[in-house]
Chain A
Amino acid sequence: MTAHLLPSAALPIDSVAAFTPGALIAGPCALPQAPLAMPAQVIEAQTGLLRRLIAGLIPHHPTAPSTGAGV
């Protein structure tokens, strides 16, 4: 867990009256800045099912290059 101090955590509890609604969401109630990487995952096979099935049926030379992930 990141020991992260949220920007508005130190503000007094009744300070909301000091902000207009717009200023509130742009300031103390804006989301905290604590970026976390979310790398894109591989969610589909590079080749279609039919091509993979056909590729699986055709004999390959052991030294031939791969026909793609999931084949």
Chain B
Amino acid sequence: MTHRRSRVGLYALRGFALALSLLAGLGAFVLFLQFGDADGLDALDILRALLILISTLWLAWGAIQALIGLTSFAHPPAYDTQAPITGRTAILMPVYNEDPLATFSRVAAMDASLAALGDPAQIHFAILSDTRNETIARREVQLFAHLVSDRHGMGRFFYRRREMNTGKKAGNIEDFITRSGGAYDYALILDADSLMDGETILQMIRRMEAEPRLGLLQTLPKVIRARSRFGRAMQFSASFFSPIFARGLAMMQGETGPFWGHNALVRVRAFAESCGLPALRGKPPFGGHVMSHDYVEAALLARAGWIVRLDDDLGGSFEEGPENIVDHAKRDRRWCQGNLQHSRIIGAPGLRAWSRFVFAQGIMAYIAPLFWLGFILASIAAPLLAPPPDYFPEPYWPFPYFPPSEASKAIGLAIGIFGLLLLPKILIAARAALTGRARGFGGAALAFASTLGELAFSSLTAPVLLMYATRSVFQVLLGRDGGWPTNNRGDGSLSLSESISASHWIVSIGLIGLAATWIFAPGLFLWLLPVGVPMIFAPVLLWWSSHPSTGRLMGVPTEYAPPPIMVLHDQIFARWTAALDAEPAPETSHA
């Protein structure tokens, strides 16, 4: 009965969120029609109103998710936090051409963190290499030996490198499951830049043992160690805003939660039974191996009746992020292709309705910029197609008729759209000040200043990111496969010439767009300056944002008081660097 009541509540919440988003979209649609009707409605007005409807609906959906998240606090499920762990767990770290010193030292830190707790749980580590670069592969072997020796890890640490990286990361995990999955009850899937606290890992295992229907448990990883202006803005956003958005998501998803590909624990049997991913029919970008496999695996687990849950109350889960816009755009290109590929999977038989909705959301996240772009282009073209104003509509009437200005409608619409963008973040800052959460971000005043700083920064970068996203969508639609570039996890500073070569086309589009607006729709010129100016200065923006940021603005708790696992990792990294600097060159043979 309780279960049924909670399901009714869940559907009501989803319905409420959807209805509110629709209402916002329809409100924008009607306002725009009224604005366009001032000089007579034409086809372009209706097209623009439809584009505004879709774009506003999408913005509102995100904003409402945050508003729902603001209504509650993350809380743990009911379970015994001290229960003895009976199952065996493998911690899987897939690597692909990453720096082994950085990745393996994270493994050592997690092992040390677990060891410090003294829990007798059986937990092993497996480094699953898909590295193609032979030099890096040799260094992996050397450093693995160092890792085993340093952590006394014989019998607990494993390494294998695949001959072929078929299926990329999903294929890498599948290879582990089919080869060794029978030896483990649970697998904690990481990324090469993941770092998780030992206590978090143990509690995740206990939660899974407490709920036999739980197939996957996702944590909310926080971005750490950002150095650049761009990286720190992303880090602040992920640390300050994302938990609230995630809370809203957790409240709406029920038992059909997300899998973000890493920092998540899976029940190996459930994963093996449900998540074998065949290649899609046809060639990439839409066919071939599933690129964004995580969403698909979450949907398949839910289809098989397993619970997929986001436990956003769990801390101690970290990852690193891109340090500049170019690296962000590269990663986004991969995700764009992966999400658009889901258009082939969304109709798979037997999927839960929410899983299909999640696929649709992922697709929408990447095509939404096209709607804004379409709206801007249609607005520039509209004056060309509009009939000339008729000031004497009545024959033989000597006085001119001036149609009433509906500019207030356009201004109201713009305020509404900016409200959807700004309000959730302002409210999150206000709640952080009231609950004391802002203390971790340097106090209420600094957290509020950081919020304003992040809003200004994201407003500046949004047009540039919009252009990269648009290019990605067109590349995918034109059938270009983006491949699988390595994540650049280094310093990330861009030179001005690198910035120009990465964004000269954005400058050209910005200049042409503003010139066209000035010529064809001068009334729009001021409105489009916030979009056009950042595009024209894109190289400067790329260059400036990739450089180190040292101020207290956008400070996060992990900077003010690094958690023990970060301190542990720093110590191990420093010790290993010193030890390896003293060692002779690596041997030439490898597995």
Contacts and interface: CB of A to CB of B under 8 A. Distances in A.
A37 B272 contact: yes
Chain A interface SS verdict (over half): loop
Nearest to A69: B349
Given A24-B144, A41-B300, A31 B281 contact: no
A71 B324 CA distance: 46
B148 interface: yes
Given A34-B181, A36-B181, A44 B275 contact: no
A19 to B, nearest CB: 7
Given A43-B348, A49-B347, A36 B268 contact: yes
A28 B155 contact: yes
Given A8-B155, A11-B155, A25-B591, A33 B180 contact: yes
Contact of B587 (A22, A29, A36): A22
A8 B177 CA distance: 19
Interface in B218-237: none
Interface string A22-65: 10111011111111111111111100010010000000000000
B423 to A, nearest CB: 36
B149 A40 contact: no
Nearest to A12: B154
B303 to A, nearest CB: 8
B294 to A, nearest CB: 13
Contacts of A19: 145
Interface string A4-28: 1010111111111101111011101
Interface in B329-375: 344-345, 347-350
Interface residues of A, number: 43
Contacts of A34: 179-184
Contacts of A29: 144, 148, 154, 157-159
B88 interface: yes
Interface string B268-281: 11011111111011
A9 B345 CA distance: 42
Contacts of A40: 276-278
Interface residues of B, number: 56
Contacts of A11: 154-155
Interface in B136-163: 141-142, 144-145, 148-149, 152, 154-155, 157-161
A24 B148 contact: yes
A44 B281 CA distance: 9
A34 B185 CA distance: 12
Given A11-B154, A25-B160, A29-B159, A45 B347 contact: yes
A30 B300 contact: no
B201 interface: no
Contacts of B176: 31
A17 to B, nearest CB: 7
Interface in B181-203: 181-185
B590 interface: yes
Contact of A1 (B86, B345, B349, B587): B86
A28 B39 CA distance: 80
A2 interface: yes
Given A19-B145, A22-B590, A24-B145, A42 B181 contact: no
Contact of A41 (B87, B277, B591): B277
Contacts of B590: 22
Contacts of A2: 182-183
A6 B348 contact: no
Interface in B160-175: 160-161, 174
A41 B276 contact: yes
Contacts of B181: 34-36, 38
A43 B591 contact: no
B290 to A, nearest CB: 7
B587 A45 contact: no
B461 to A, nearest CB: 35
B178 interface: yes
B300 A43 contact: yes
B446 interface: no
B296 interface: yes
Contacts of B587: 20-22
A47 to B, nearest CB: 9
A22 B177 contact: no
A1 B209 CA distance: 12
Kindly name the residue among A9, A20, A35 whose own CB sees the greatest number of chain B CB atoms within 10 A: A35
A16 B159 contact: no
B126 interface: yes
11 contacts: A2-B182, A11-B155, A16-B149, A28-B155, A32-B183, A35-B182, A36-B178, A38-B272, A42-B350, A49-B347, A70-B349
Given A17-B149, A31-B176, A35-B178, 10 more contacts: A16-B148, A20-B587, A21-B586, A25-B161, A29-B154, A35-B182, A36-B180, A36-B269, A43-B345, A45-B348
Interface of B: 86-88, 124, 126, 141-142, 144-145, 148-149, 152, 154-155, 157-161, 174, 176-185, 268-269, 271-278, 280-281, 290, 296, 300, 344-345, 347-350, 586-587, 589-591
